[in-house]
Structure 1
Amino acid sequence: MAYFRKVPSKKAKSGYTWSFTIETGIDLLTGKRKQTTRRGFATKKEAENAAKELSTQLENGLNIVDNKMTLNQYLPKWLEMAAKRKVKVTTFVNYENVINNRILPVLGHLTLKDLNGSVCQKFFNLLIDQELSDGYIKSIYKVFNISLEKAIDWDLILKNPLRKVDIPKARKRNYTVWKRKELLYFLRVAKDESLDYFSLFFVCIYTGLRKGELLGLKWEDINFKDGTLHIQRNQVYLKGTFTYGSLKTESSNRVIKVDDETLHILMQHKKRQNELKLLYGSQYSNENLVFCRKNGKPMHPRALAVFFDSIIKKAEVSKIRFHDLRHTHATLLLEAGVSLKEVQERLGHSSIKMTGDIYAHVTDEMKSNASKKFSEYMQKNS
C-alpha cells in the first residue's frame, strides 16, 4: 500500500511536489515495518505511476536497501543475532571487544549509507597511525568485514565498502622464548615460592599446553599407568563466570605422552591436594581440577599471570608472556631433534604448515645443522 502527500518546494512552479511512501516488508533486525519514500514528482499521477512500478519490482524480488541504520544500531544486533550463534565464546568476546573498543567509538554514528570505501580507508589508516600491530589491524578488518557481508545478506547494503580497503599484511611475529638455562632457573625460583604453582609451570613447560587447556585439565584426564594426558576441554573465564568449552581446533583434542619426572610431580601435587580436601571437607569444590585454588575452585587467570610475572622478576630472567612457555617448549623440542610432525601433533596445531611457519627460525637452524652433519659425514676418513 502506498501513501501520497504534497511536499512544499520553492523550486517547483506550483510551489510543491509529490512524494509517496511504500511498505517493503518487516525488518528482521528490529521487527518493525520497513518503508521506502521517494520524492520530487511534479504531479500526483507521476507519483502514483512510480509507486506502481516500484510495487511491481518488489513483487519480482527487488531488494530495498535500509540505509538509515547506524553502526551503533547494526553491529550489536549482528553480534547477538548472527555472531553469537556461530563462534566460540572466546572468539565472541574478541568480536565484542573489537566492535566496542575500536569500531563504534570512531564509526558508530555513521549510517550504513555513509559507509563507503573512502571512509573505511581513513578508519584503517587511523589504526595504522596509532601503531597498532599488523595482526591486530587484520583482526579488526576480519570482524568488520564479516559483519558487513552479513548486512548484504540481510538486504541492508548492496556492496561491502571494505572490499576496496588496503590494510597492512600481517608480519610474522618474532616470539620471545627462554633458553634452557633461563627455564631451569625460573623453575628453581618458582619451587621455592610455591609448590602448587611450580607444578603448574613445570607441566606447562614440559607439555606446551595452552593456558585454557592447562586450567581445564582434570584428574580423570591423566593416565598415570600409560603416562599420558588427554587434552579435551578449554577453560574460559567470562564476565565473572568459569565455563568449559571445546578446544581451539579438532586437532587440539589430543593425547600426549609425558615423561616420568612430570608424572612424579603430578603425583606429589595430587597428594598435597588430597590433604587440602581433608582440611576443607564439604567446602572443597568437586570439579576435580588438577590446577585450582586451595579450595578446589577454578584458578583465576589473572592471579596466574600476576604470580608468573612475580617469579620472572625474582628470577631475573627475560620477560615473556605466559603463552610463550608454549613456544619455549616447542622451540626446545625442535632444538633437541624432535621432528616437526611430532611437534605439530604435541601442540595440537591443525597443520604442519602452521607449525613450520611459527617456528621457521628454528627449522632453518635445523636445516643448517643437517647440511653441516652431512658434509662432515662425507668428509670423514676421506
Structure 2
Amino acid sequence: MPKRKPTNNKKPPKLPKNVREDNGRYTYRYDVYEIVDGKSKRKQKETPSFRTSREAEEAGILIKAQQINGTYVDEKNMTFSEWADQWMEMYAERTDKKNSISTHKNRIKQLKKVFGPIRLKDITALQYQKHLYQLKKDGKSLNTILGRHGTMGMIFKKAVNPPFEFIKTDITKNIELPAFAPTFEELEKMDEQEGYLEKEQLNLFINRAYEIADNRETEKEILIARQCARALHVLAYSGLRIGELCALDRGSIDEINKSIRVTKTLYIQEGIEKYALNTPKNGSARTVGVTDIVTDLLKEQAVEKKKLMLMSETYYNGRHFIFANAKRKPGYPLSPLEIARYMKEVLESLKEHDLPSDLSPHNLRHTYTSLSAEAGIDLSAIQHQLGHTNDKITTKIYEHVTKGRRITNMEKLDRLLSSIN
C-alpha cells in the first residue's frame, strides 16, 4: 500500500491584536475621535505598512501611549485650535515669563476666531495674507499686527520643523505685512523727542512729590506717599524699569560698591498676592552703578519701611522687598500701578508750570538718558545701565541732548582758529 504524503496542517502564526496583513506588509489599526457637528465620532485609521508584524505592533503601541498621555495628534485632521493649544502648553513649559505667556494666549484667542476650526494643513498663505490686510482695515495698529504675526509664525514654525513635522509648509514665511505710511502730522512730529523731564522740570517734579506726601493727614499716609515719591526719585536717577525697581530686595543692593544687581522684574497681572518674579526684559542680569543720592534714598527707604512694618498688624515676610506694599497687603511688593497713580497726581498738581501731564514712570528712564547725556556719559554706558544695547528712543534723546554740546565745541574751535588768523 503506497505511503500517503504528509499534509501540512500547520496554521499561519496568529497576528498580534489590531495588526493587519496585506500582500506581505503589515499595518496597525487604531481608533481616533473627531468632533463632527459638536459630537465625538469614532474613526479607524491605519499606520503606514511595515515589513514585519512586530514593527507594525510597536508603531501601534507608541500611538496608544501618545493617546493616553494626550500627546497624540492626528496630523491629517488637526485643527488650528488643537495645535495652537498644544503649542501654548509647550511654550508655557519652557519659559517663566508669565507676561509673555499671557500675551501669546491673548493673541491665540484672536487667531482662533478666524482660523480655529480650519485644519492646520488647509490654511493657505493667501488666507493668512488677507487676514493681515483685514486687520489693518479694522483699524488695528502696526504693533498689534506685528505681535499677532509673530505668534502665528512661532506656531507654524513648530509644526513644520522636527520633531513634529505635521505640515510641510510654513504659510507665514515671506508674507507681506500691511504698509503703514505715516500721515503728514506724524511726519511733523518725528523730530520731536520722546517725553522726558528736563533738569529744571525734574527738580520741580521731585520737590512736589515729597511736598504732596508730607501734606497727607496721618503719619501712615505720609510714609506711604513718601515711599512712592522716593520710588519716582530712584527711577529718574537710576534708569531702572519700574518692574525692576519693585522687584528689588535687600540682596540686590551693594552699598559698598554703590551698585544694584538687576536679576528680576515684578509681574502682578493676577493680583499682588500672586505676584511673580521674572527675568529682566532682555533675559539677562546686569549690575548698574548708582550715585550717592540713590544709595542715600535706599537707606532712607529702609528706615521708613520699618516704621510701616510696626504700624501693620500682619506683614508678609516671604521676601524682603525694598519698596513694599503698606496698604491692603503689607509686605508684598509695591505695585507699579500705585507708583503710576502717584506720579499722575504729582503731574496734575504742576499743570500751571507747563509740565506734560501724560508722562508715565517709564518716561523717567528717558529722563535718566537726558541727564546722563548732559553729564557727558558715553551712550554705550547709558544703554548698559538701561538694560539694552540698541534702542532708538535712547539714541534719539542722547543725540538731541549732545547736539548742543557739539555746537558749543565747534564754536570754541571756531574762536581758536579765528585767533590764529
1:103 aligns with 2:111: yes
Shift of 1:369: 4.0
Any residues of structure 2 matched to 1:218-229 within 5 Å, and which? 218-229=249-260
Match for 1:156: what amino acid?
F
Mapping of residues 73-222 of structure 1, within 5 Å: 73-86=82-95, 88-100=97-109, 102-153=110-161, 154-168=164-178, 175-191=194-210, 192-193=212-213, 194-222=225-253
Q: Match for residue 412 of structure 2?
A: 376
TM-score by length of 2: 0.70
CA positional deviation for 1:147: 0.7
Runs (5+) with no aligned partner, structure 2: 1-18, 33-41, 60-72, 183-189, 214-224
Q: Which moved more, 1:105-114 or 1:146-155?
A: 105-114
SS at match of 1:359: helix
Tell me by how many angstroms 1:272 deviates. 1.3
Percent identity over the alignment is 22
Change in 2 beyond 3 A, CA 1:258/1:34: farther
Alpha carbons of 1:123 and 1:83: their partners in 2 closer, same or farther (altered >3 Å)? farther
| Distance in 2 of aligned mates of 1:281 and 1:364 | 51
TM superposition shift of 1:363:
4.2
Per-residue CA distance 1:28-54 (angstroms, 9 max, x = gap): xxxxx99669xxxxxxxxxxxxx9xx6
Output the CA distance in 1 between the equivalents of 2:380 and 2:229. 29
Distance 2:123 2:146 in 1: 19
What TM-score, normalized by structure 1, do the two folds share? 0.76
- The partner residue of 1:328 within 359, 364, 367 is 367
Q: Retained in 2: the 8 A contact 1:117–1:164?
A: no
Please point out which of 397, 400, 403 is paired with 1:362: 397
8 Å contact 2:107–2:148 — kept in the other structure? yes
- CA distance 1:281–1:70, shift in 2 (3 Å): same
User: What do you get for the CA RMSD once the two structures are aligned?
Assistant: 3.6
Q: Which amino acid aligns with 2:277?
A: Y
**Is residue 263 of structure 1 aligned with residue 263 of structure 2?**
no
Q: What is the 5 A alignment of 1:252-291?
A: 253-280=285-312, 283=315, 285-291=317-323
**Distance (Å, rounded) in 2 between the aligned partners of 1:250 and 1:143:** 19
| Counterpart residue type for residue 197 of structure 1 | C
Deviation at residue 174 of structure 1 after TM alignment: 6.6
Listed as ranges, the matches of 1:229-244 within 5 Å are 229-240=260-271, 241-244=274-277
Q: 1:169 to 1:370 in 2, by over 3 A?
A: farther
Q: Is the 8 A contact 1:212 1:235 kept in 2?
A: yes
Contact kept, 8 Å, 1:335 with 1:362, in 2: the verdict is: no
Q: Tell me the residue number matched to 1:12.
A: none
The CA distance in 2 between the partners of 1:174 and 1:160, in whole Å, is: 40
Q: 1:204 to 1:146 in 2, by over 3 A?
A: same
Match of 1:55 among 29, 32, 49: 49
Q: Pick closer, same or farther for the CA change 1:255–1:82 going to 2, 3 Å.
A: closer
Correspondence 1:287-366 to 2 at 5 A: 287-294=319-326, 295-316=330-351, 317-318=355-356, 319-349=358-388, 351=389, 354-355=390-391, 357-365=392-400, 366=402
Deviation at 1:250, TM superposition (A): 5.3
Once the two structures are TM-superposed, the CA of residue 107 in structure 1 deviates from its matched residue by: 2.4
Q: Distance in 2 between matches of 1:126 and 1:140?
A: 13
The amino acid that maps onto 1:271 is V
Q: How many residues align?
A: 338
In 1, the alpha carbon distance for the partners of 2:50 and 2:367 equals: 66
Q: Which residue in 1 is equivalent to 2:12?
A: none
| CA contact 1:215–1:234 (8 Å) conserved in 2 | yes
Corresponding position of 2:11: none
Which amino acid is the alignment partner of residue 144 of structure 1? M
Q: Is residue 236–residue 244 contact of structure 1 (8 Å, CA) maintained in 2?
A: yes
1:158 offset after TM fit, Å?
Answer: 1.2
CA distance in 2, matches of 1:280, 1:377: 63
Q: CA separation in 2, counterparts of 1:98 and 1:300?
A: 26
Q: Structure 1 130/177 Cα, relative in aligned 2: closer, same or farther at 3 Å? A: farther
> Which structure has the larger Rg over C-alpha atoms?
2
Letter in 2 for 1:211: I
What is the CA–CA distance in structure 1 between the aligned matches of 2:31 and 2:395, rounded to whole Å?
Answer: 54
Q: In 2, Cα distance between the equivalents of 1:337 and 1:269?
A: 29
2:366, 2:397 within 8 Å by CA — same for their partners in 1? no
Once the two structures are superposed, residues 103-156 of structure 1 have per-residue CA deviations (whole angstroms, 9 ceiling, x without a partner) of 122322322133111110111112222333323322221111011111123232
Note the C-alpha offset of 1:293: 1.1
Give the letter aligned to residue 246 of structure 1.
Answer: T
Report the Cα offset of residue 195 of structure 1: 0.9
